């Protein structure tokens, strides 16, 4: 099975490396020459053009920032002519509606489309322990399962087209809110005089436990792998998380859910971004919770 991979960022490159190491025939492409060079440096075939990378591909993976990027690659780049009959698997995070729209347009070119966003972050991508949420038919899910197994530990068939994206948006919605609450708690714990490490250990075995607490505690030096211990190097940038939270807010509005907590998480991210720190990991919202950045309650969520 020949695979074309498009998108070699923080997530895409380690994911495609796992496919390559599993023995799949992979060609990788990114618009960034630097990203292509990084792929070549780890033994991947990374030609200078998308059409070269896609030649003869039976499966096309996209791991891109937005749905507009996905549409451009799959429908506006000439790829439809080069990959007749291929299955397109999108692991980006886009809206469920946009996934369904792209799927319909892709089907019109004689190809098929599966939405398969991931959870697990850069650590999961590097370790090959990602969770995939797949929207499509049972037959499509079965077809892509061997590929997903090379890159992740868990893969779920969520439902029809767009359902994978729906699961991802709700998951990231929860992640953003949890990060905001853990950040606020970490700040007040510090100001109450609690030792950060001791409190973290207590919370892990108490009702305040969460994945965010264990992995992304936002006080430097407590969790060695947390972005806070590395000057908030991403990871998952605040800009990208704000995009995902915005997509979740679109869904809360469309389905008559007030979304008050999600709006608040968006406001914190907005303050971080407005302060020029959107390139940092999203867990840097602790700086907003700590009052280190100018408060702006007028920012809309």
The set of catalytic residues is 168
For residue 221 the two structure tokens come to 């030096």
Taking a C-beta distance cutoff of 8 angstroms, is the pair 80, 111 a contact? yes
| Rg of the Cα atoms in the chain | 20
Upper half-sphere CA count for residue 212 (Cβ side, 13 Å) = 23
How far, CA to CA in Å, does 6 sit from each of 20, 21, 40, 69, 118? 14, 17, 14, 10, 15
The length of the chain is: 301
Q: Closest Cα to residue 298, out of 259, 260, 271?
A: 271
Strand partners, 157: 134
Taken in order 135, 141, 144, 145, the sign of the CA dihedral is positive
Phi/psi of residue 136, nearest 5 degrees: 160, -170
Q: Closest Cα to residue 30, out of 20, 19, 44?
A: 44
Rounded to whole angstroms, the Cα distance separating 293 from 291 reads 5
H-run or E-run covering 190: helix 163-191
DSSP state of 116: -
Burial of residue 182, with CB atoms counted within 10 A of its CB: 0-12 exposed, 13-18 middle, 19 or more buried: buried
């Amino acid at each position: 099975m020949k695979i074309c991979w498009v998108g070699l960022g923080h997530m895409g490159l380690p994911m495609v490396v796992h496919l390559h190491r599993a023995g799949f025939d992979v060609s990788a492409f990114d618009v960034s020459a630097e990203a292509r060079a990084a792929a070549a440096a780890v033994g991947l075939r990374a030609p200078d053009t998308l059409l070269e990378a896609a030649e003869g591909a039976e499966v096309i993976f996209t791991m891109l920032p937005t749905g507009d990027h996905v549409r451009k690659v799959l429908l506006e780049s000439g790829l439809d002519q080069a990959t007749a009959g291929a299955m397109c698997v999108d692991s980006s995070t886009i809206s469920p509606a946009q996934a369904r729209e792209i799927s319909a347009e892709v089907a019109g070119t004689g190809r098929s489309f599966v939405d398969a966003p991931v959870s697990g972050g850069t650590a999961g991508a590097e370790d090959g322990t990602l969770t995939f949420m797949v929207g499509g038919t049972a037959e499509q899910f079965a077809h892509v399962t061997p590929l997903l197994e090379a890159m992740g530990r868990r893969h779920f068939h969520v439902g029809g087209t767009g359902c994978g994206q729906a699961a991802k948006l709700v998951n990231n919605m929860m992640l953003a809110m949890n990060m905001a609450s853990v950040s606020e708690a970490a700040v007040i714990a510090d100001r109450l005089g609690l030792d950060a490490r001791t409190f973290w250990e207590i919370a892990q075995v108490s009702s305040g436990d969460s994945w965010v607490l264990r992995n992304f505690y936002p006080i430097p030096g407590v969790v060695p792998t947390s972005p806070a211990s590395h000057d908030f190097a991403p990871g998952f940038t605040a800009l990208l998380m704000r995009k995902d939270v915005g997509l979740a807010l679109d869904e809360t509005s469309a389905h008559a859910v007030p979304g008050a907590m999600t709006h608040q998480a968006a406001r914190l991210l907005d303050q971080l971004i407005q302060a020029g720190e959107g390139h940092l990991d999203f867990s840097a919202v602790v700086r907003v919770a700590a009052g280190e950045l100018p408060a702006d309650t007028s920012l809309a969520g």
